[in-house]
């Protein structure tokens, strides 16, 4: 019974540490870009887009599709990096295993 109580304390401590790590992700920022930096997107570790910067020279009213593609590419790049950040930060709790629904 003593071992079970000790194990439960360890599980609770790990859960608290995981919660803190998850909360800390909102303060970490990743950047995605496209067009050699013409479009820059910043997102936090919770995959919330925080900022989009578009250089004026890529704004061409006659080629809106190109700008749309650049923004889409930069957003997807930032979100992919946010996923990688989350996997790295939370992986220390899961031993690198991807456990669906855990985070």
Domain contains 17: no
Domains: count for the chain: 1
Q: Which two tokens stand for residue 56?
A: 């004026």
Q: H or E stretch including 85? A: helix 64-94
Domain contains 102: no
Per-residue pLDDT of the chain (103 residues; tens, 9 = 90+): 788 888 888 888 888 888 888 888 889 999 999 999 999 999 998 899 999 999 999 999 999 999 999 999 999 999 999 999 888 887 777 665 555 555 4
Q: Which two tokens stand for residue 7?
A: 């194990």
Domain contains 18: no
Distance between CA atoms of residues 29 and 44, nearest Å: 4
Domain contains 75: yes
Q: Which two tokens stand for residue 48?
A: 């919330």
Report pTM.
Answer: 0.74
**Residue range(s) defining the domain that contains residue 45:** 27-92
pLDDT for residue 99: 53
Q: What is the CATH number of the domain that holds 59?
A: 3.30.1310.10
């Amino acid at each position: 019974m003593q071992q079970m109580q000790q194990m439960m304390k360890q599980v609770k401590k790990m859960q608290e540490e995981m919660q803190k790590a998850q909360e800390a992700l909102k303060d970490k920022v990743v950047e995605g870009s496209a067009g050699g930096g013409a479009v820059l997107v910043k997102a936090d570790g919770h995959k919330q887009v925080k900022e989009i910067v578009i250089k004026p020279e890529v704004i061409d009213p006659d080629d809106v599709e190109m700008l749309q593609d650049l923004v889409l590419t930069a957003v997807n790049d930032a979100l992919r990096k946010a996923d990688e950040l989350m996997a790295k930060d939370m992986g220390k709790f899961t031993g690198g295993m991807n456990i669906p629904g855990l985070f």
